[in-house]
A and B are shown apart, each in its own frame.
Chain A
Amino acid sequence: MKALRKYLDKIKPNFEKGGKYHWLWSTFEGLETFLFVPNTVTKSGAHIRDAVDMKRIMSTVIIATLPALFFGMWNVGYQHYLSLGETTGFWQNFIFGLQKILPVIIVSYVVGLGIEFYFAQIRGHEINEGYLVTGMLIPLILPPDIPLWIVAVAVAFSVIFGKEVFGGTGMNVVNPALLARAFLFFAYPGDMSGDKVWIADKADSYSGATPLGHALVGDFSHLASFKDMFMGYIPGSVGETSTLMILIGAAILLITGVASWRIMLSVFAGGYLMGLLFNLWGANEYMQIPAYYHLVMGGFAFGAVFMATDPVTSAQTNKGKYIYGLLIGMMAVLIRVFNPAYPEGMMLAILLFNVFAPLIDHYVIEANIKKRLKRVKAIVNS
């Protein structure tokens, strides 16, 4: 560690102003602050002294995704061997999944960080850590059998058009990971939906439909049991299947205070509420499935815990967070049941309210201003 520090200190002057590699300054700075806690402090404005900076927050989110990731790796192997009709041990499943998913993660990080470094270099700002989380979330919401070049295209699109054109981390309007998925969903539907993609290298005779896929075509006899869906023994995107593992991640996020409990709670409440409403209506079989099924099917839990709570793209005010979460939950279930074009509504519901979050905030703030003005007037008049 000490030798590394010494080495960095030795080569640092080359990258500072006047040095011969000054044009590589942001790359050097990014690496240095990634390895060591920076020793510079901000020079003006109000500060909060805290050991937690953006890098530590991002690392917490990555740790929170690990349970879902490891379970996803195991499940990819499990589903693969299940479709072949073989029974295999824990490690064999896990290693098969590892071989499938590790390349996706590597491609996602290399392409995304490459673009991030490039933009930082050209625009002369520091390298932000936002991509560390996005780069982990993208593999988790893709089908296991996704071709690597498609991952690269999606990552490039979402990092450039979802984030860098707005000025990088903290300025984006829609969640870049979801944007990548939505882009793939509309651009390469053959690799993103249907019954073929959810199990890696599956046997042809085996049906690979997800519970949502079954539900979409009205086949409710093949719907997995609640326990299977909660534990995650079902085909699906890598990280989304196991609600249990996602809840462990949610606990990590909530205990460390990284994610907003208001959003998580209200997304689940919104989805449950909409499910109950549909139960009351009961016009077709899809509306009659128990409301809590919606919470464990597909990507609902993953979206609620990791996507909707993104502090940049969600609503910023407390009241706004409740409204934002509630609307996401309701819209996700609404799209599932009503829209025959898409089996899953979570991704689009979150994107939709990412777009409207600033509007929600605007009106929450306006209402607050009005209320306080009224109070002032009442005091002045009395």
Chain B
Amino acid sequence: MQELFNIFIKSIFIDNMVFAYFLGMCSYIAVSKTVKTSVGLGMAVVFVMGITVPVNYLINEYILKPGALSWLGAQFKDVDLSFLSFIIFIAVIASMVQLVEMIVEKFSPALYASLGIFLPLIAVNCAILGGSLFMQERDYQTVWQATSFGLGSGLGWFLAIVGIAAIREKIRYSNVPPALRGLGITFILTGLMGIAFMSFLGIKL
């Protein structure tokens, strides 16, 4: 239990997807203009990560890992399918995103309209694929650990995008040099937020 909680906290704050690894930047920058839409996208990412990471964990554990297929019979114990992991992870993620898209369209057409192209695009959000690949690399022991890692990473991403959206709403009235307006100032802001998030760097859990 303690272990699960530690993984959860660690993936939100210390190994934050945006500020520690700079993953998922495309939708993070493109959809962070208002808090409302960014909350919507953030929730979608939490949902997708919370489901894809454990599902990919099970696939990795029972199909892809070297020797994972030994449950089929002794003759399969040398099979190593890990070269397939990228394409299979992406397939799982893409189908999950389709599911989320249908749910959002059904229950919140306004959010669906404001997210626009970015909702299908979270299929290629690097944070989400990154989550699955980190899961594979870090060798989590149980599916629960993978789930808490997925949910935590999603929440960390959610926190990042909502935070920057609020700042961008505030600096809309600032006299930013014309050349920096939009993308430029957002990159600088992300860097400043990264400095602030370094407060968690080095905490051992």
Contact = CB atoms under 8 A, between A and B. Distances in A.
| Chain A complexes with chain B | yes
Interface of A: 123, 125, 161-162, 165-168, 171, 173-174, 179, 182-183, 186, 331, 335, 338-342, 345, 348-349, 351-352, 354-356, 358-359, 361-362
A179 B188 CA distance: 13
B35 A335 contact: no
A331 B171 contact: no
Interface in B78-113: none
B43 to A, nearest CB: 15
Contacts, number: 94
B199 A349 contact: yes
B200 to A, nearest CB: 7
B177 interface: yes
A342 B169 CA distance: 32
A138 B199 CA distance: 20
Given A165-B180, A166-B171, A171-B174, A354 B196 contact: yes
Interface stretch (B22-30, B57-65, B145-153, B160-168): B160-168
Contacts of B183: none
Contact of B199 (A171, A345, A358): A345
Given A166-B176, A166-B185, 12 more contacts: A161-B191, A162-B192, A166-B171, A167-B174, A167-B175, A171-B173, A179-B192, A338-B203, A339-B200, A340-B203, A351-B196, A352-B199
A165 B196 contact: no
A165 B202 contact: no
B126 interface: no
Contact of B196 (A167, A174, A345): A174
Interface in B39-55: none
Interface residues of B, number: 30
A360 to B, nearest CB: 8
Interface string B181-196: 0000100110111011
Contacts of A335: 199-200, 203
Nearest to A170: B174
B185 A165 contact: yes
B198 interface: yes
A341 B201 CA distance: 8
Contacts of B204: 340
A264 to B, nearest CB: 21
A348 B202 contact: no
Most chain B CB within 10 A, of A161, A168, A339, A359, is at A359
B193 A355 contact: yes
Most chain A CB within 10 A, of B167, B188, B195, B200, is at B195
B197 A352 contact: yes
A348 B202 CA distance: 13
Contacts of A166: 171, 174-176, 185
B166 A362 contact: yes
A310 to B, nearest CB: 15
A339 B198 contact: no
B185 A342 contact: no
B138 interface: no
B205 to A, nearest CB: 9
Given A161-B188, A165-B177, A341-B202, A358 B170 contact: yes
Contacts of A173: 167, 170-171, 189, 192
B96 to A, nearest CB: 28
Contacts of B203: 335, 338-341
5 nearest interchain CB pairs?
Answer: A341-B202, A167-B175, A348-B199, A359-B166, A358-B166
B176 A342 contact: no
A361 B173 CA distance: 16
Contacts of B198: 182, 186, 348
A171 B171 contact: yes
A359 B158 CA distance: 12
Contacts of B192: 161-162, 173-174, 179, 355
Nearest to B195: A182
A355 B196 contact: yes
B16 to A, nearest CB: 12
A342 to B, nearest CB: 7
Given A165-B185, A167-B174, A168-B175, A179 B195 contact: yes
A168 B176 CA distance: 9
B195 A183 contact: yes
